[in-house]
């Protein structure tokens, strides 16, 4: 199994702390492709700092997608969620087909091992570590960083994604963290 807990303790953050505006403008992503993105950016600011945004289509109010976006050596759809206070969530939903052929479960598990390893190298050990389980057929990893909630998960069916959420700006991030911390 991949992503087994190494037994390292994680420092807990106080999600009730108010993030200062200057902190919202600091880098949150360790992927080179996202180095110019920050929580709270407006659409205009994203357009000027993320050149690939010119390929984005508006999928719903406040949600813009770039189809077939390369991420951690796989292809996904990159979604920008932009609310009244700016960018609050990025999601890369991985694609289940390559050249029209559906990916096998084993391919998805193997590719996920690679992605998990890369995310762990960038962000450290996850706080929630639920590796692939052959019986329940899913995995879930969650990193709670200073200002970002990061989740990599597959439900064994049609949801296989990496989610980056602003702890300060995402309307659901704090509630999710409270639920995680209550276990």
Cα gap 21→166, rounded to integer Å = 13
Residue 172 phi/psi, 5-degree rounding, is -105, -15
Cα gap 85→133, rounded to integer Å = 38
Q: What's residue 85's pLDDT?
A: 96
Question: In what side-by-side order are the strands of the sheet with 63-71?
Answer: 57-60, 63-71, 74-83, 86-94, 160-166, 148-154, 138-144, 128-133
Reading the block at residue 30, the tokens are 């360790």
Q: Please give the model's pTM, rounded to 2 decimal places.
A: 0.80
Q: Where are the domains of the chain?
A: 21-181
Cα gap 110→174, rounded to integer Å = 31
Q: What's residue 28's pLDDT?
A: 76
pLDDT in tens, 18-50: 333 334 434 578 998 898 999 999 999 999 999
Residue 118 phi/psi, 5-degree rounding, is -65, -45
């Amino acid at each position: 199994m991949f992503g087994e807990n190494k037994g390292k303790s994680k420092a807990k953050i106080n999600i009730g702390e108010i993030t200062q505006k200057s902190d919202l403008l600091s880098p949150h992503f360790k992927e080179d492709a996202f180095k110019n993105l920050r929580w709270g950016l407006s659409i205009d600011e994203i357009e000027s700092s993320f050149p690939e945004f010119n390929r984005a289509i508006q999928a719903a109010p406040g949600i813009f997608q770039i189809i077939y976006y390369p991420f951690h050596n796989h292809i996904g759809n990159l979604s920008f969620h932009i609310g009244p206070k700016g960018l609050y969530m990025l999601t890369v939903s991985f694609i289940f087909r390559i050249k029209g052929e559906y990916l096998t479960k084993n391919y998805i598990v193997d590719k996920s091992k690679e992605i998990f390893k890369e995310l762990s190298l960038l962000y450290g050990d996850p706080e929630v570590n639920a590796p692939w389980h052959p019986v329940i057929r899913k995995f879930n990893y969650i990193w709670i960083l200073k200002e970002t909630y990061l989740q990599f998960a597959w439900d064994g069916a049609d949801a296989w994604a990496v989610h980056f959420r602003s702890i300060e700006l995402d309307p659901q991030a704090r509630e999710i963290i409270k639920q995680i911390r209550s276990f």
